Structure 1
Amino acid sequence: MTDLSYAARARFSPLDLRGRPVPVRAAAVLLGTLVLATASQISVPMLPVPMTMQTLAVTLIGALYGWRLGALTILAWLGEAALGLPVLANGSGGIAPFMGPTAGYLASFPLAGALVGWLAERGWNGSRPALALAAMLLGHALCLLLGGLWLATLIGAEKAMLAGVVPFLLGSLVKSGLGTAILTALARGGNSAGRV
């Protein structure tokens, strides 16, 4: 008897990066950092933290790359930012974003990407839209939780909740839905290509 659950898990993503040679995975990391940098520039100015498409990119990279390569890609992007490259929201970079109001959110990104990737590898992916949505929501919730906790140390819990969590709830829900739609479309496209 064949264990089909293992076969299903082996191809959790249409990108199937786990089995690719190292140069292909390295190129995927570079591409992922470019996607993250681009998503960071799609921004709605808010104080003390801008709303961007970063979390959508973070959760998608986790879901498509898997937890290890996804987290590594996000860490590489944060490393680029720490070196001063203008890859964060509003073209910022350097050490300052890692010390100010956005530090908790930035620290949450590799963890959120890893969480979504880990869940995707276990079937919470585009092949199962309801589970993919749950994974995306959990990834966004982790970002808001850690970001809000750090912000609370700077401005107090109530202000952090009102300024750093509540305004982002609807956006997180919308980005989770959009991420799920992208994953579902990619999974269907990958399944169609596999049947040709």
Structure 2
Amino acid sequence: MSLLHHHEETTFDPLRLGGRSLIVKAIFVLAGTLMLTLASWISVPMVPVPITMQTFAVTMIGALYGWRLGALTILAWLGEAIIGFPVLAGGAGGIAPFMGPTAGYLVSFPIMGALVGWLAERGWSGDRVVRSFTAHLAGNALGLAIGGAWLAMLIGAEKGWLLGIAPFILGAVLKSALAAAVLKGVRLYGGKARLN
């Protein structure tokens, strides 16, 4: 049996969004864009790419919302940014962030969320802490690869690695561990709440 094979008993859906109405899902999308915005504002300025909690929020939304609604939520947040809302790191908004050094990372976010959500739907979350960590780390690695590739096109491969990937590897590992721990807690709390 494949590790990615989907079983009902391994499904991680703490918010039970699958059976909810369109209005409830829309509320969750708006709440997710708010969570992404707040995570973006937690920022350590660096050049050319700041350190934020965006990737933590992106992978958590994927894991909690599932791959479809997670990716849609992240796309809605990016749409808010494009139309000028100050939802990105440093309160940025508008089209400029999608043209500069952070563009690759921004483009990678819905893909990251979808990947982590897809894996979570197949049991790579909740009680399975190592798999959850691996799913989040895979999402973060994908984001670093896409963002780093874009940055390398702008400033060269060596600088792209030194400025756009290497400084973020430890953070990706730590954020992945934090996400796995939080989701384990959600699973434990959710299980107790259902028993009561």
Which TM bucket (shorter chain)? Answer: over 0.9
1:45 aligned residue: 45
How many Å separate the matches in 1 of 2:32 and 2:105? 18
For structure 2, which runs of at least 5 residues remain unmatched after alignment? 1-5
CA displacement, residues 67-98 of structure 1 (integer Å, 9 cap, x when unaligned): 00000000000000000000000000000000
How many Å separate the matches in 2 of 1:27 and 1:38? 17
Instruction: Give the percent of matched residue pairs that are identical in Structure 1 and Structure 2.
Output: 62
How many Å separate the matches in 1 of 2:154 and 2:78? 22
Amino acid at match of 2:168: F
How many Å separate the matches in 1 of 2:7 and 2:45? 45
Q: 8 Å contact 2:7–2:122 — kept in the other structure?
A: no
Q: 8 Å contact 1:44–1:50 — kept in the other structure?
A: yes
How many Å separate the matches in 2 of 1:117 and 1:98? 24
How far did 1:145 drift?
0.2
Amino acid at match of 2:157: A
Q: 8 Å contact 1:56–1:175 — kept in the other structure?
A: yes
2:182 aligned residue: 182
Q: How much is the aligned-residue C-alpha RMSD, in angstroms? A: 0.9
How many Å separate the matches in 2 of 1:142 and 1:171? 14
Q: TM-score, normalised by structure 1?
A: 0.95
Q: TM-score, normalised by structure 2?
A: 0.95
Q: Does 1:82 align with 2:77?
A: no
Amino acid at match of 2:86: P
1:65 aligned residue: 65
Where do 4+ consecutive residues of structure 1 move more than 2 Å?
A: none
How many Å separate the matches in 2 of 1:125 and 1:6? 13
